[in-house]
Amino acid sequence: MPGTKLSILFVCLGNICRSPLAESVFRHLVRQRGLEDRFEIDSAGTSGYHVGDPPDARSVATASLRGIEVAGVSRQLVAEDLRRFDYVIAMDRENLEQTRRLQKRTNGSARIHLLREWDPEGTDSDVPDPYYGGPRGFDDVHDIVERSCEALLDDLHSELDRS
């Protein structure tokens, strides 16, 4: 149907490092393809550790060097997200399990996946948690997120074209 929209929520633990980055990278790619009005994009954390905090400065700095702005405020994943979003994309298996557990307690129909299911160079299923590491970790995370989001968007763009 013309004008059909897809909504997508990226999920990590704290919603300050990986998922805000994935949200920003995906939004950037969507904009590059002129598809802004076909997607709703957001991110959340399975924990409440950083609710209300801005994105981690290291995520912001790494992305900024690549021309991508990472902004927003951390929020916790809620049951309603599993009803509201078409796709919930988890950064690692731990957060995938947490998300699935929450979905079992709701009647949410969101399709839940790991981001690295789309990683063309995928050797691991997890986007590694960079929080306790150095800046190199953030570079690696950015590379993984960028190439996985490209492939994810290819798939979702095709889904939109078919709808």
Site for ligand 4NP, rule CB under 6 A: 12-18, 49-50, 129, 131
Minimum CB separation from ligand 4NP for residue 106, in Å?
A: 22
For the question of residue 17 being annotated catalytic, the response is: no
Using the minimum distance from each CB to ligand 4NP, give the nearer residue, 16 or 149: 16
Which residues are CB-neighbours of 31 under 8 A, at least 6 positions away?
Answer: none
Give the Cα separation of 159 and 66 in Å (integer).
28
Minimum CB separation from ligand 4NP for residue 104, in Å?
A: 22
Catalytic residue among 12, 27, 81, 92: 12
For the question of residue 129 being annotated catalytic, the response is: yes
Using the minimum distance from each CB to ligand 4NP, give the nearer residue, 110 or 144: 144
Catalytic residue among 17, 18, 58, 116: 18
- Taking the alpha carbons at both ends of the chain, their separation in whole angstroms is 5
For the question of residue 18 being annotated catalytic, the response is: yes
Give the Cα separation of 57 and 59 in Å (integer).
5
Do 53 and 16 meet the contact criterion of CB atoms below 8 Å apart?
A: yes
Minimum CB separation from ligand 4NP for residue 131, in Å?
A: 4
Using the minimum distance from each CB to ligand 4NP, give the nearer residue, 140 or 160: 140
Q: Is the dihedral of CA 64, 67, 72, 78 positive or negative?
A: negative
Catalytic residue among 42, 92, 119, 129: 129
Minimum CB separation from ligand 4NP for residue 72, in Å?
A: 12
Using the minimum distance from each CB to ligand 4NP, give the nearer residue, 6 or 72: 72
Enter the tokens of residue 141.
């995370």
Question: Smallest Cα–Cα separation from 149: which of 117, 111, 109?
Answer: 117
Give the Cα separation of 47 and 74 in Å (integer).
10
Give the residue numbers marked as catalytic: 12, 18, 129
